[in-house]
Amino acid sequence: MIAIDLTNRTALVTGATGELGRVMARTLARSGADIIIHYYSSESKAKALKEEIEQLGRQAYIVQADMSSQESVQQMKRKLETEFRLPTIVVANAVSQYKWTSVLEQDAGDYVDQFNTTVMQLVHTAKAFVPHMIERRGGRLIAINTECAMQNFPTQSAYVAGKRGMDGVCRVLAKEIGEHQITVNQVAPGWTISERDRQNGTEVSEGYDSGVPLRRRGTDQEIANVVSFLASDLASYITGAYVPVSGGNVMPTI
């Protein structure tokens, strides 16, 4: 039986205290990785997640940073170097929230904000952690994208602009660092069922579900499973990929 084994690996999950971030962190830990829990403002959630991961028998370390700031990310790197260790798996998941509206009504600052927390997050994490991966002759950089980047629906412009920019950086970076056996891939969830949905009984959305070939929304665990796969040696020859996990709701063409 083939199993995902991340034993002796250290994974950084940015935005680890969010709905999807927590599930990805737990799943990577269950696969054997030690976890660096990044948070921006939810320290209490980070502490609770640390306890969960340690109960799984893995090490966990909490770190705070503003992922849109190069200096903040570099400070995080220095803290990890001195107090824990640097990761060879990085999951770029953090993104800021804002009100979605039309291009004509969207505040110009929202576009800058999305650029900084998607495109520049990836740039900052690459500058901080890829050199260590090069030294180790291997690593995984996994960016969380979205099905919206292919749909381009009304009111999505700021979010889509940031995620499509991140896509470009990922593809270029994959070509630049591939010789070091470092892979760069993107996981693109659809509208995902989270723990909040389970608590509120909002797992089903007939309007959305009816348009998905699998006729349902995906779960946070299904997204995390793909992330764990791409982090593993099972995906050692996959790089530069944009992988929709959307039940067929979006299908990249050749």
Each domain of the chain, given as residue ranges in start order, spans 10-245
Given phi > 0 = left and psi -120 to 50 = alpha, else beta, which region is 76? alpha
Residue 243 in contact with residue 230, Cβ under 8 Å?
yes
Burial 4-26, CB ≥16 within 10 A → b, else e = bebeebbbbbbbbbbebbbbbbb
CATH superfamily, with its number, for domain 10-245: NAD(P)-binding Rossmann-like Domain (3.40.50.720)
Tell me the two tokens of residue 209: 């579900």
Q: Phi and psi for 15 in degrees, rounded to 5?
A: 60, 35
Q: Is the dihedral of CA 247, 186, 71, 22 positive or negative?
A: positive
Residues 6+ apart with CB under 8 A from 150: 188, 244, 250, 252
Q: How far apart are CA 58 and CA 224, in angstroms?
A: 17
Helices 108-136 and 70-83, interaxial angle, to 10°? 30
Query: Which residues in 48-57 are b (16+ Cβ under 10 Å) and which e?
Result: ebbebbeeee
For the chain, 254 residues long, give each residue's pLDDT as a single digit of tens.
888 999 999 999 999 999 999 999 999 999 999 999 999 999 999 999 999 999 999 999 999 999 999 999 999 999 999 999 999 999 999 988 899 999 999 999 999 999 999 999 999 999 999 999 999 999 999 999 999 999 999 999 999 999 999 999 999 999 999 999 999 999 999 999 999 999 999 999 999 999 999 999 999 999 999 999 999 999 999 999 999 999 999 999 98
Active-site residue set = 159
